[in-house]
Amino acid sequence: MKKIREVKRMLRGDIYRATKIERAYISNLEADKQNLTLETMKKLPKHLELTFQI
C-alpha cells in the first residue's frame, strides 16, 4: 500500500477520501499489522486506477 501511495504521490488521507478506507487501517496495512481483505481489494482498483490478478 505504501508503494502505491508513493508512486501515485498520495497521502493516506487521499486514499481515504477516494476509497473511504480508514487511515488507521491503511497505516496498519503498511506496517504489516493487518491483512488486506477481499472487500478492501475490491475498492482499490476502482478508485486508484489499479489492476489485480488473482
Distance of CA 45 to the CA centre of its chain: 9
Q: How confident is the model at residue 44, as a pLDDT?
A: 80
Report pTM: 0.75
| Cell triple for 23 | 487511515
Write out the DSSP string of 4-23: HHHHHT--HHHHHHHH---H
Delimit the domains of the chain by residue range. Answer: 2-48
Q: How confident is the model at residue 54, as a pLDDT?
A: 65
Q: How confident is the model at residue 18, as a pLDDT?
A: 87
* Spatial separation of the C-alpha atoms in residues 54 and 47, rounded to whole Å: 19
Quick: pLDDT tens for 3-52: 888 888 999 999 899 889 999 999 999 999 999 898 888 888 777 777 76
